[in-house]
């Protein structure tokens, strides 16, 4: 598996800093990643769902990926994954190739989410083209399983076929299905032969007990210290019930205020002094009363998000 064995642990599905005019605040991104590194993250996914990835053009995505690399000047071992999946095959190939050319550690690729009736045969052909044309030998590509957003799931049989066909390039999956049954099935079917990253903090301990390699979550933007406690405990063969309970409570709060990016950006500004970053339309910033209500619920149910 080459250097893929080093891709594990706690990853934030990083927010994307935006100016009031909705343009990327490129200088803010390395500072934010530095914050995540100091709070226990092993790495970050840039331009995933929480990072509003599909809302950016290819030139904007490339600029953000280049900006993210600056975090390695302070944290040379900080792992960087790039969200590169789009409905366009050629655009996905170009973005994935660019990410690896920049030195990213891996790519996390959504399935083509416009044609929701695509078959496993069609998805295999699509991912095969991306891997063959954009992924260097021994470099890892991860499928992104988030059917609630894409309407296109990645079946166990499809994952097995991709792993068999591309054993050194198709590394695993970001599982954001929020389905404990699917997490069990992944562990039972693949064990540690497939790198599985849970996208749901409330299922983190459960996923680890089913052979997951870590997490890539939105909540890690705020609660990475608890994610790290769960991870470190697992390395010792135990479960940190208290830290997991805080993650469960925090996730419950965030689930009441979808979509997540506006709330996460508001809480980061309120609790950690970051600029009040915008979100790009069609997302809109939270109304003041909703923000206050969410902050109150977060602090009362999870002790404090500033831990």
pLDDT value at position 166?
98
Say whether 144 sits in a helix, a strand or coil. strand
Q: Are 175 and 204 in contact (CB under 8 A)?
A: no
pLDDT value at position 305?
40
pLDDT value at position 307?
44
Q: At what angle do helices 260-272 and 241-255 cross, to 10 degrees?
A: 120
pLDDT value at position 143?
98
pLDDT value at position 295?
87
pLDDT value at position 5?
55
The tokens describing 204, both together, are 């983190």
Give the pLDDT of the chain (307 residues) as one tens digit per residue.
345 657 999 999 999 999 999 999 999 999 999 999 999 999 999 999 999 999 999 999 999 999 999 999 999 999 999 999 999 999 999 999 999 999 999 999 999 999 999 999 999 999 999 999 999 998 999 999 999 999 999 999 999 999 999 999 999 999 999 999 999 999 999 999 999 999 999 999 999 999 999 999 999 999 999 999 999 999 999 999 999 999 999 999 999 999 999 999 999 999 999 999 999 999 999 999 999 998 888 877 655 444 4
1: Cα separation from own chain's centroid:
21
**Measured distance CA(105)–CA(120) in Å, rounded:** 27
> Rounded to whole angstroms, what are the CA distances from 104 to 62, 98, 147, 154?
12, 9, 25, 24
pLDDT value at position 304?
46
Which one, of 123, 131, 134, lies nearest residue 96 by Cα? 134
In the chain the first and final C-alpha atoms are separated, in Å, by 36
Going by C-beta distance under 8 Å and a sequence separation of 6 or more, which residues neighbour residue 65? 46, 47, 82, 98, 99, 102, 104
Paired strand residues for 217: 12
Q: Are 10 and 216 in contact (CB under 8 A)?
A: no
Note the pTM of the prediction, 2 decimals. 0.95
**Measured distance CA(69)–CA(30) in Å, rounded:** 7
pLDDT value at position 298?
82
Helix H or strand E encompassing 108: strand 106-109
pLDDT value at position 6?
79
Paired strand residues for 215: 10, 198
Which residue do the tokens 């909705």 mark? 22
pLDDT value at position 300?
72
CATH T-level topology, domain 2-301: TIM Barrel (3.20.20)
**Measured distance CA(77)–CA(73) in Å, rounded:** 10
Catalytic amino acids?
49, 114, 144, 174
pLDDT value at position 299?
79
């Amino acid at each position: 598996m080459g250097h893929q064995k080093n891709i594990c642990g706690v990853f934030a599905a990083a927010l994307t800093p935006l100016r009031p005019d909705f343009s990327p605040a490129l200088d803010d991104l390395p500072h934010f990643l530095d914050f995540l590194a100091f709070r226990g993250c092993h790495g970050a996914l840039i331009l995933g769902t929480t990072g509003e990835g599909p809302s950016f053009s290819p030139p904007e995505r490339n600029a953000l990926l280049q900006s993210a690399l600056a975090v390695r000047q302070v944290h040379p071992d900080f792992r960087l994954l790039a969200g590169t999946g789009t409905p366009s095959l050629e655009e996905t190939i170009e973005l994935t190739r660019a990410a690896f050319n920049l030195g990213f550690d891996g790519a996390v690729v959504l399935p083509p989410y416009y044609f929701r009736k695509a078959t496993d045969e069609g998805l295999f052909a699509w991912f095969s083209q991306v891997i063959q044309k954009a992924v260097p030998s021994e470099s890892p590509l991860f499928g992104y399983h988030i059917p609630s957003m894409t309407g296109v799931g990645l079946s166990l049989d499809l994952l097995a076929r991709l792993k068999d066909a591309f054993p050194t390039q198709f590394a695993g999956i970001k599982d954001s299905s929020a389905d404990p049954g699917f997490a069990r099935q992944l562990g039972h079917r693949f064990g540690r032969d497939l790198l599985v990253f849970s996208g749901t903090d409330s299922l983190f301990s459960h996923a680890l007990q089913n052979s997951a390699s870590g997490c890539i979550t939105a909540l890690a933007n705020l609660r990475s210290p608890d994610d790290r406690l769960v991870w470190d405990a697992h390395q010792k063969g135990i479960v940190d019930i208290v830290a997991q309970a805080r993650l469960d409570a925090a996730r419950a709060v965030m689930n009441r205020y979808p979509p997540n990016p506006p709330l996460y950006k508001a809480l980061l500004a309120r609790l950690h002094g970051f600029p009040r970053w915008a979100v790009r339309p069609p997302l809109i910033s939270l109304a003041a009363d909703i923000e206050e209500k969410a902050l109150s619920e977060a602090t009362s149910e999870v002790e404090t998000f500033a831990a």
